[in-house]
Amino acid sequence: MSSLLSFTILGLFTGAAYAIAASGLVLTYTTTRVFNIAHGAFGMVMAFTFWDFSQRQGMPVWLALFLVLGVVAPGTGWFIQRFVTRGLGEGPVSVALVVTVGLFVGCIGMAQQIWPPAARTVPPFFPASGLEVAGTYVTAHQIITIVLSAVVALLLYLLLNRTRIGTAMRASVDNPDLLRLFGGKPTQVASLSWAVGTSLAALAGILLVPIIGLDYYALTLLVINAYAAAMLGGLKSLPLTFAGAMGLGIMQSFAVAYLPAQGALAGIRAVVPALFLFSVIVLMPQAQLRIGQVKGIVSAPLPSTTKALSWGAALMVVAALLATSMSQANLLLVGTAATYAMVMLSLVLLTGYGGHVSLAQLTFAGVGALAYAKLDEPNLYGLLLSALVAGAVGALVALPVLRLTGLYLALSTLAFGVLMDKMIFQADYAFGYNGTLKAERLSLLGVHVDSTGAYVVVMVAFFVLMGLALLLLRRGAIGRLLIAMRDSPQACGTLGLDLRWFRVGLFGASAAMAGLAGALFAGLRGTIGAADFQFFNSLPLLLLAVVFGVTSVTGAALGGVGLMLLPVLQSSNPGAAGAIFAVIGFGAVALGRDPNGLSNLVFSLGRRLDKRFGLRTRLPLLGTRRTPGDDGSVEVPLHRLDPAEAAAVSAPAASKEVPAHVAP
């Protein structure tokens, strides 16, 4: 009996901390419509700051607490809202997601840079005190946490319902423009809510640190628990959010107490929050489609078939040259780059064309690799079958969120990534706990591709083929449909398109591409394990895909090389390992609004060269320059975003040729 009570109290304690974090998340989301994936990362950085103040610099605890919760955290929240996430809520969900994932990774990098890995501890509040409740010892820290969550709930209630600014906050949820019309200041409201929200993240982080330790990832990923709780409240209701957080805390505590520590069910203990998040998303009521305005996004230029073919051939030649000249170790790196590039191609389809975000694309690659190793059919048949398995799993992940929109789809991939990481991949029927599987290299049409060089060439060939297929797809009816669906899902619906199945198909196709890449990777490496496909690595992958341009094959190729170089760079500059991460994270934040990313530089360079040298040779032949639209695409990017945003979005040279029109 007393053990039941003590586990309940433990559950209430963690639940209270989740509730504090989740209410901050709800507050920022409802007032600005930006779902902050980095909410937990903020909490992590603030917990480190608290350690720095109270332990390293030796400030009294109350002072450190005041400085972090009252100055640093709100200041950070205000700054982020003011200069980073402002206006994101009105744009596509995918952009907001990418920018906050950028903040997420950037925060982790920054924390690693400022506070390099070392053993650090933060003692609980009043470590020596506690109470005896019905035979169970309750620490003062636990009591304080539970009381604080109630205080936070009360203060938030008073803030939202009894103050002028709180009323304005609730009003800005519904309609910021109308609020402005009536003399309110939505920007101030947004800044305030981010300041308060970040403080709440900080408080939750500081309260949890004595229990889970100062760890970059554990603290950051705790936010999944907060997501789950916030989802139960539909990202709106604070009481439901609190209930969800408490329930989750208790469930987690009971899972640890009563589920077997061995056997098939053992894995469940670690994934209770992810399962909870997944089920809440599945059970969410159907989303209402929003009706907006004409949206066009800056599309990457679509290369002509000749151009695409010649670049593909050039890439093959380069791969062949590398294959004959490079060392085994370096060839493995080239193969890795090709793998990443293929996974990024799957994101071009999903995110660049389709406008959906997956936070676990590498996990799908892992599914493909696992299938390839398990099938033990090292030929084209086995390869395609592995891709199909990954595609089917992708479709399954998308299936429950058929009725919902982008944000929920992305969060369900996150839950899926965590589930696979902690439960499936490590299970005996998969890679096994810390285990690896052997995978053989491919035989193509009876020819066994044995040498690493030849295998790398085959991988690059697959990349080229997938890239060409993608461009072909983009040109045709399906490509048009994808763009149409991204621009206006509701118009597609009223024209008779069943968005749900189309979306599942898109998700499955993208997962299949990633799975194919994973299967090829398995053959390249020979032995693979769960560590190769860790969920967390999907985030830098997504970010680099965005930084290099998620709308083009060029971007995927460059991004693949970039992601491969990342660990190389980090191991050669161990001192700057965190900084490199931070640069990528914050780079994605800066470039997140421009879907074409750095590839734009390549395109504008190409255009300039074309103008300089290409025009002269073409003029006598055609008489005029090629006009856009022949192939069903319009090459010159224009945008409809509001002027302030347009300035931020406009790529260095992409929109110079034709002035941007904004539909009146």
Partner 1 sequence: MSLLEVDGVVVQFGGVIAVNGAGFTAEAGRVTGLIGPNGAGKTTCFNVISGLQKPNRGTIRFDGRTVTGAPVHRRSKRGMGRTFQRLEAFGSLSVRDNVRVAFDIHRGITGLLRPVAADVDALLERVGISAYARDRADSIPTGTARLLELARCLAADPKLLLLDEPSSGLDEAETDAFGELLRGLAAEGRGILMVEHDMDLVMTVCDEIHVLDFGEVIASGAPADIRANPRVQEAYLGYSDPADETRHDLPPVELTSELPAVQEVST
Closest contact distance (angstroms) between CB of 300 and partner 1 is: 11
163 forms part of the interface with partner 1 (CB under 8 A):
no
Give me the least distance between CB of 502 and partner 1, in Å please. 10
Determine if 294 is a binding residue for partner 1 (CB under 8 A): yes
Q: Are 35 and 235 in contact (CB under 8 A)?
A: yes
Closest to 426 in 3D by CA, of 529, 523, 538: 529
Cβ atoms within 10 Å of 407's Cβ, excluding its own: 22
Q: Distance between CA 380 and CA 297 in Å, rounded? A: 38
- d(CA 227, CA 235) in angstroms, rounded, equals 9
Gyration radius of the chain over CA positions: 26
The alpha carbon of residue 157 and the mean position of all alpha carbons in its chain are separated, in whole angstroms, by 32
Residues between 66 and 105 that touch partner 1 (CB under 8 A): 90
Q: Does 498 bind partner 1 (CB under 8 A)?
A: yes
Q: How far is CA 316 from the centre of its chain?
A: 31
Q: Specify the residue for token string 């066994």.
A: 448
Does residue number 292 form part of the binding site for partner 1 (CB under 8 A)? Answer: yes
Binding to partner 1 by residue 497, rule CB under 8 A? yes
**Which stretch, 119-127, 139-147, 168-176, 229-237, contacts partner 1 (CB under 8 A)?**
168-176
Residue with tokens 């403080």: 199
177 is an interface residue for partner 1 by CB under 8 A: yes
299 binds partner 1 (CB under 8 A): yes
Any contact of residue 620 with partner 1 (CB under 8 A)?
no
Q: Is 632 in the site for partner 1 (CB under 8 A)?
A: yes
The reply on whether position 178 binds partner 1 by CB under 8 A is: yes
Asked if residue 402 binds partner 1 (CB under 8 A), the reply is: no
- Measured CA to CA, the distance from residue 404 to residue 424 in angstroms comes to 26
Cα–Cα distance between 548 and 603 in angstroms, integer?
12
Contact between 657 and partner 1 per CB under 8 A? no
Q: Is 297 in the site for partner 1 (CB under 8 A)?
A: yes
- Give the integer Cα–Cα distance in Å for 397 and 601: 36
- Are the C-beta atoms of residues 131 and 143 closer than 8 Å to each other? yes
Residue of 58, 446, 496, 575 interacting with partner 1 (CB under 8 A): 496
Told to check if 304 binds partner 1 by CB under 8 A, we report: no
When binding is defined by CB under 8 A, the residue of 493, 505, 526, 567 that contacts partner 1 is 493
Q: Is 639 in the site for partner 1 (CB under 8 A)?
A: yes
Answer yes or no: are the C-beta atoms of 470 and 349 closer than 8 Å: yes
The interface mask with partner 1, positions 545-584, x = CB under 8 A, is ----------------------------------------
- Of the ranges 23-31, 187-195, 318-326, 479-487, which one interacts with partner 1 (CB under 8 A)? 479-487
- Regarding 175 and contact with partner 1 (CB under 8 A), the answer is yes
- The residue range among 63-71, 305-313, 384-392, 623-631 that interacts with partner 1, by the rule CB under 8 A, is 623-631
- Which of 1, 118, 329, 477 binds partner 1 (CB under 8 A)? It is 477
**Among the residue ranges 118-126, 272-280, 282-290, 366-374, the one whose residues contact partner 1 (CB under 8 A):** 282-290
Question: Which two structure tokens, joined as six digits, stand for 290?
Answer: 């929003």
Answer for which of 480, 608, 611, 656 binds partner 1 (CB under 8 A) is: 480
CA 541 – CA 81 distance, rounded (Å)? 25
> How many CB atoms lie under 10 A from the CB of residue 508?
23
- 3-state secondary structure string, 161-188? HHCHHHHHHHHHHHCHHHHHHCCCCHHH
Stretch of 68-76, 290-298, 330-338, 517-525 contacting partner 1, by CB under 8 A: 290-298
Question: Which residue, among 643, 640, 641, 636, has the nearest Cα to 657 in the 3D structure?
Answer: 636
Q: If binding is defined by CB under 8 A, does position 610 make contact with partner 1?
A: no
Which CB sits closer to partner 1, 127 or 292?
Answer: 292
Tell me the C-alpha distance between 116 and 114, whole Å: 6
Q: How far apart are CA 210 and CA 125, in angstroms?
A: 9
What span, in angstroms and rounded, lies between the C-alpha atoms of 475 and 303?
10
Q: Which of 174, 306, 445, 617 binds partner 1 (CB under 8 A)?
A: 174
Choosing from 638, 649, 651, 654, the residue that interacts with partner 1 (CB under 8 A) is 638
Residues that bind partner 1 (CB under 8 A): 90, 174-178, 181, 288-297, 299, 476-477, 480-481, 483-484, 486-488, 490-499, 627-629, 632-634, 638-640, 642, 661, 663-664
